Structure 1
Amino acid sequence: MEPNYVEHIQEAAQWISDRIDRRSLDMGLVLGSGLGDMAAQVEDAIAIPYDRIPHFPVSTVEGHAGQFVIGKLEGKNVIVMQGRFHYYEGYSMKKVVFPIYVMKQLGVRSLVITNAAGGMNRGFQAGDLMLISDQLNLTGDNPLIGINHPELGPRFPDMSQAYTPQFRELAKRIAAQMGQERGEAIRLQEGVYSGISGPNYLPPAELTMLANLGGDAVGMSTVGEVIAASHAGLKVLGISCITDMAIGEELEPLTHEQVVAVANRTKPIFIELVRRFVKEAQA
């Protein structure tokens, strides 16, 4: 890592801390494409645009507001990333994961990380939610390459339970409860997220390859952030909104607008699931 990386993390965290009445934070949330409206659910909220925070990158992707929202959600003190940073925007992987370390510095102990993804599992359909059980990092990079700073985490962090099993079990119980209340099952899948660099959507041959490698969904985020979260010792719940089917042999053209539209339709169930999880989870 860069020699001044820890100093920059500390300076950014201190700048934020000075503006939030030194409230302790319980949980962080990273909201992906089309899912940023959940930040409006946060009460007693303070919004801090990324471009005001020292050393922070700026999100350039449509559908990403580009700010932290800090306040209360279901009785917990939360910090919400309304928009994230992507490797394909030209940022280094260390910059992409910089906010994860800042949140840890602010006292966060667990994360809910969300994204929009293409479904490669033939048992999925557009509009499903998928609990991430594991990941394939196919970005070609890793945020931990370089000097390791022990104050951030160990040189060789374990990834065997990067997505906390207890969090997944809680999310499944909550989804079952929601289904009983609604009178219809919530389509909550579980599978492996394949993270690619982007920004192009993949051609059929590459999608077929990823499915053969064990991937159930594919997207352009998350894997670096979860590596950093594991490095920092954070618990993680990962949820993908399956916005389209990305099966190589049956691939149809896709636009970012279509991805956001499906995420918007799934939003009410997604928001309810996450809110209930935040309420019940032991950070």
Structure 2
Amino acid sequence: MLNDDNLLQALEAAQNYMEERLGGFAPEAGLILGSGLGPFADAMENPVVVPFGDVPFMGVSTAAGHKGRFMAGAVGGKAILAMQGRLHGYEGFNAQEVAFPVWLMARLGARVLVTTNAAGALNRSYHVGDFCVMADHINLTGRNPLTGTAPNTMAPRFLPMLDAYSPALRRQLLSLAQQLDVRVQEGVYLGLLGPSFETPAEIRAFAALGADTVAMSVCEEVIAARHAQMEVLGLSLVSNMACGIEGANPSDDEVHEVAATRILDFGRLITAFFQQLEI
């Protein structure tokens, strides 16, 4: 099990292993593909594929639809290390285990992280099938990967989170969405531990806090990315209205069904984003 005592040793071992497997490939950016969005990476030409379970100290995905592997290749002319699936706290992973692949991406050279997921909408002006750029987040997981002493030896633990989601990258994505005629919102994301979906009372409380979308990932990844001085873009697919809104009662099947209808627009948007990205 990864913990504060072996974190630095684990990252060094994982970095050495990945560098050997990637054979000189140095990623410029990392891409985390959330629920239903993993098929995007299948379009990579001649990718190097590394299952999570092959990487020293790395956890293995158990969530439905998460293949649990790295894919290294080109997207939009940039060298991208993509994750088909992620690690969640609700799978039993601690905060540092969830953050581990992000710290690893940074050590391999990635300076930008694009993290994506499927989320429920609290904002009643949103529609199922919209994408939403994260302007900020509310971390209600009750966890932080910087807890302990090991992260403090990598970078200061008291990490400022102003503009955690890069304003420049958000503007770029929103401009591209307008050009490509892809409906994209911008709002505040709220992250929970899960795995149960939220109650109607919780959704009303979260809306009062200022959240526009809600899901069970992202926050710990973003904290780790900013800790590693990566620029971050967060993008959600609105796969459902949140529980109790317009009679919604979310299910995991619904998430994947909606993603299947939006994967082409997602691919156009992300490819254009990397084509335009200056690193």
TM-score range, shorter chain: over 0.9
Q: 1:207-246 CA deviation, whole Å, 9 max, x = no partner?
A: 0000110000000000110011111100011000000011
Q: TM-score, normalised by structure 1?
A: 0.95
CA offset at residue 157 of structure 1?
1.0
Q: 2:79 aligns with which of 65, 77, 80?
A: 77
Q: CA deviation at 1:74?
A: 1.5
Show the counterpart of 2:49.
Answer: 47
User: Which consecutive unaligned segments of at least 5 residues does structure 2 have?
Assistant: none
How far is the alpha carbon of 1:247 from its aligned partner? 5.4
Q: State which drifts further: 149-158 or 6-15.
A: 149-158
Letter in 1 for 2:145: P
Instruction: Report the alpha carbon displacement of residue 254 of structure 1 after superposing the two structures with TM.
Output: 2.2
- Number of aligned pairs? 277
> Partners in 2 of 1:42 and 1:111 — Cα distance?
18
Paired residue secondary structure (1:189): strand
SS in 2 for 1:134: strand
Distance 1:60 1:247, change over 3 A: closer
Q: Deviations over 1:70-109 (max 9, x none)?
A: 0111211110000100000111011011000110110000
Amino acid at match of 1:236: V
Amino acid at match of 2:71: V
Selected match of 1:276 from 260, 272, 276: 272
User: Is the 2:243–2:250 contact (alpha carbons within 8 Å) kept by the matching residues of 1?
Assistant: no
Alignment partner, residue 182 of structure 1? none
Comparing 41-50 and 210-219, the one that deviates more: 41-50
Q: Tell me which of 160, 175, 178 is aligned to 2:177.
A: 175
From 257, 260, 265, the equivalent of 1:264 is 260
| Structure 1: stretches of 5+ with no match in the other structure | 180-185
Residue of 197, 204, 219 corresponding to 1:201? 197
User: Deviations 1:46-72 (Å, cap 9, x if unpaired)?
Assistant: 111111111000000111011000011
Q: 1:148–1:154: 8 Å Cα contact kept in structure 2?
A: no
Give the secondary structure class of the aligned counterpart of 2:48. Answer: strand
> In 2, Cα distance between the equivalents of 1:177 and 1:249?
31
How high is the TM-score relative to the length of structure 2? 0.96
For 1:21, the equivalent position in structure 2 comes to: 23
Question: Are the counterparts in 2 of residues 229 and 235 from structure 1 also a CA contact under 8 Å?
Answer: yes
- Measure how far apart 1:4 and its partner are: 1.9
Q: Residue in 1 aligned with 2:160?
A: 158
Identity among equivalent positions (%) equals 40
